Amino acid sequence: MADGLDIDAMIKRFRLRAEAVRGRQVPPVEGEARKAFIEQSRLDFQDFAILADAQGSVEDGVLVLRVDLRPKA
């Protein structure tokens, strides 16, 4: 923890957000609004899931989140 920042707890919150987006129901909208909602949900999940996989640290006062984007072997 650095200056009250619990990095592990923050990363856990992103994991919970990713799970919440995955379980999100599509509201009763049609057409372009439906497409936009689905696309935004896809992007939200992607962003939250990437951050949920991060290894966090504070280096010289800077929060560093390392995410290995290399394909799994």
pLDDT tens digits for 10-66?
A: 999 999 999 999 999 998 999 999 999 999 999 999 999 999 999 999 999 999 999
**Is residue 60 in some structural domain?**
yes
**Is residue 72 in some structural domain?**
no
Whether the full predicted model's pTM is greater than 0.85, yes or no, is no
Beta-ladder partners of 65 = 56
**Residue 25: domain span:** 7-66
**Is residue 71 in some structural domain?**
no
**Is residue 2 in some structural domain?**
no
**Is residue 30 in some structural domain?**
yes
Please compute, for residue 7, the number of CA atoms within 13 A of its CA located in the half-sphere on the CB side: 16
- What's residue 3's pLDDT? 65
Q: Is the pLDDT of residue 2 over 80?
A: no
- What's residue 72's pLDDT? 84
d(CA 16, CA 11): 9
Tokens of 24: 């999100």
Summarize pLDDT for 37-51 with one digit per residue, the tens: 999 999 999 999 999
- Domain count for the chain, please give it: 1
d(CA 40, CA 62): 29
**Is residue 52 in some structural domain?**
yes
